A and B are shown apart, each in its own frame.
Chain A
């Protein structure tokens, strides 16, 4: 019972803040609501027993990605203020399409009945399990991710740094 209340509260918080992320006018406020969404998702990961992932979610998503987005929002603020309008033309068809997509997936899930299973028992130590998998069977993707991050870093410096040299 407590589990259900916790899930519904966190799910409601996640969905409401996600709606605000995509509808609110000021993109800066949207970034703050995105942080709230990501934080409540981290709480949902905790209810799923994924403690390590919850910590990574807070550190990487809120600590790095949202902060970076806020930096760029402030760097690209025009003098006329944050004139961030939604394109009104597409709001109703898009809302319809995305609502129907959600309904389609939800109905398919309910019909398939794969969710009728009872919640599994808590694993002994999920973090240990991830560590073993990461340096065992999945060591190649793990190394590739580090190459990906390095190339993203170099590319970001190449893209943003080039402009400054040309100004001089």
Chain B
């Protein structure tokens, strides 16, 4: 019953797959962003778990997770700003109705 690295990596894989499912099936753009956050977190979990199992831990796994969190924060702020701007102009929040650039 020892918990190995594989356990954590499988949990990360399951979370990532759930994020993919949400990003494709959600129509609401905010829901898609939240599914993206799930995927970011799956990657973070993989980084941290892999860093924990290093022969000589140097904190790089956690460091990269920190960078991912910062990038996710920037992504989320920009995504939500764009959603808000589109909503103000066209009153839509569903991604399949944002078809202004469709030819």
A positions within 8 Å CB-CB of B: 1, 3-4, 7, 11, 14-15, 18-19, 21-22, 27, 30-31, 34, 37-38, 41, 44-45, 48-50, 52-53, 56-57, 60-61, 64-65, 68-69, 72-73, 75-76, 78, 84-87, 90-91, 94-95, 97-99, 101-102, 105-106, 109-110, 114-120, 123, 126, 129-130, 132-134, 138, 141, 145, 148-149, 151-153, 155-156, 159-160, 162-163
Q: Is the CB of A152 within 8 A of B22?
A: no
Chain A residue with Cβ nearest B94: A84
Q: State the 10 A-B residue pairs at the shortest beta-carbon distance, nearest first.
A: A115-B6, A22-B22, A129-B59, A152-B74, A102-B17, A105-B13, A98-B17, A115-B4, A98-B21, A156-B81
Q: Which B53-103 residues have C-beta < 8 A from chain A?
A: 53-54, 57-60, 62-63, 65-67, 69-78, 80-85, 87-89, 91, 93, 96
Q: Which residues of B contact A117 (CB under 8 A)?
A: 4-5, 53
Q: Which residue of A lies closest to B50 (CB)?
A: A114
- B residues less than 8 Å from A126 (CB atoms): 57, 59, 62
Query: A162–B86 Cα gap in the complex (Å)?
Result: 12
Contact B41 A37 (CB under 8 A): yes
Query: What's the least CB distance linking A9 to chain B, in Å?
Result: 12
Q: Of A38, A91, A95, A109, which is in contact with the most chain B CB atoms at under 10 Å from its CB?
A: A109
Establish whether residues A48 and B8, one from each chain, have CB atoms under 8 Å apart when the complex forms: yes
Contacts of A31 in B (CB 8 A): 30, 34
Given contacts A50-B48, A133-B60, are A155 and B18 in contact (CB under 8 A)?
A: no
Closest to B35 in A: A22
A85 closest partner in B (C-beta): B27
CB of A53 within 8 A of CB of B62, answer yes
Contact (Cβ within 8 A) B83 A76: yes
Is the interface on chain B under 10, 10 to 19, 20 to 34, or 35 or more residues? 35 or more
B58 to chain A, nearest CB (A): 6
When chains A and B are docked, how far (Å) is the Cα of A50 from the Cα of B59? Answer: 9
A159 with B85: CB separation less than 8 A: yes
Residues of A within 8 A of B65 (CB): 50, 53
Q: Is the CB–CB distance between A15 and B18 below 8 Å?
A: yes
Q: Determine how close the nearest CB of chain B comes to the CB of A128; give it in whole angstroms.
A: 8
Do the beta carbons of B31 and A30 come within 8 Å of each other? yes
Does B57 contact A130, Cβ atoms closer than 8 Å? no
Of the A-B pairs whose beta carbons lie under 8 Å apart in the complex, a sample of 24, sorted by A's number, is A4-B3, A15-B18, A21-B35, A22-B19, A22-B21, A44-B45, A68-B80, A72-B30, A76-B30, A76-B83, A76-B84, A84-B27, A84-B28, A87-B25, A99-B17, A101-B13, A115-B4, A129-B59, A148-B70, A152-B78, A153-B77, A156-B77, A159-B85, A160-B81
